[in-house]
Structure 1
């Protein structure tokens, strides 16, 4: 039967379906069988000392079955990282709220959580902290107690009178690595470490927040989760002319289409970082280097694919 050891002498197995019982211990072979068929030799699948699952391999169904077949009752894994998300701002209300004067819906946390989950991280939304140091500090402490590997703050990381995130985090012992970068959108980005916890201060503008999550948060969470991560950047040609760039690297929302096997990236005309609909409609970001000269339609470009 399948899986049984081979008796001494034979070198081929004829499957039961291809014989007819003649009685008296005799059978008739109804279909020819090539010599050596239906034999699985010892060590055919793997041998002692083989590396069966390299470090970083996702434990999918085949990997789990392979580990079990090699008689491993358990394997070492990397814990899925936890990112705690804190929105800040007196003007913010959750979706479903009735807006009053000078109020807006808090939307960034949902996109940031989805970005985290797309690289198999866990997301903990701690809600909205008003523009008070003690309120922000309380949610930071809650994130640390929850075992967050990464704390993401939304807004409050610039230089306005109500931007307290930097002061709160450094006051709680965060070592600041950098604050403000030469890119658009996303200039106010902040990064530091609070003990073993990474802290990322994302801009409050929705598009800047989500673009920075794509560029910085997703690679970090993937690495913490034991995975490799590489941005999907492809060569394309411009579907419309673009002006010269200034000192910041630009990530320009665009629609990328296929034209007879060549990608064409057409930028949206307005690139205000508050415009989420345009980001939802875009499937790529044209990457423009600092001080890039004006480019005519049809010029080559790099595009970071979003979907």
Structure 2
């Protein structure tokens, strides 16, 4: 597979009182025929009320999907029947439809690092939330947020380093330029659901780092299990769906996504003059032209009009 292959499935409109179950899942597992698996998944999701994205590759499956209870259970059972019995799997709820469409993508990697690593064979030490608190409270540990800059801005763990990456593909260069001299140190890494850390810990071990740790289940599992009063998490966790961010107990947060640049914007930042819903925020107001802002305003007015029609 030299390019991404994407296929869309129709999404039925649910009843207005539907509570969406959001399932984040992944597993690194050899898939003999990813294209065939994608076709069978497509056949399944066309028959049920589902939205979100699933990525299929030789190395496994990854994605976040949303639907009613029955639809989510059907997909989960399908994957179990396909041999994905080691899924990292987490559920949360959303009052609103969190994705516009259902996409099933065929890609080279289920999370794109761009470097050949072996997360099934070479991976760091897993830590549960309580063990994680103990590890990152130590003075001799380098704590790295492997997510992107806009995710870090929404929230992170106390004392975490921001690699300032815009995509995960940039992480290997960060390791090469910033971490290479610390191969004898303890390195702890984390990401949203755990999948990026499967590859980042594998990369570090492959590069000769001696002690590498990561948070099993990622931030989502931590926020689900760790009581807020014992938490070392600060802010909200950016998620790639309509909720924008979540917090402890996997409750929807207060941040909203700027639809002009994609950054997570706090209530305080939305009160600034730089913020115009769907048009600009403090992160992008100086980066787009007046013509572009006019285009964003037009798009926003169309979105509002479409919502009014559905009411």
Into which bin does the TM-score normalised by the smaller protein fall?
under 0.3
More helix by share: 2
Identify which of structures 1 and 2 has the higher relative contact order when contacts are C-alpha pairs closer than 8 Å and 6+ apart: 2
Structure showing greater radius of gyration is 1
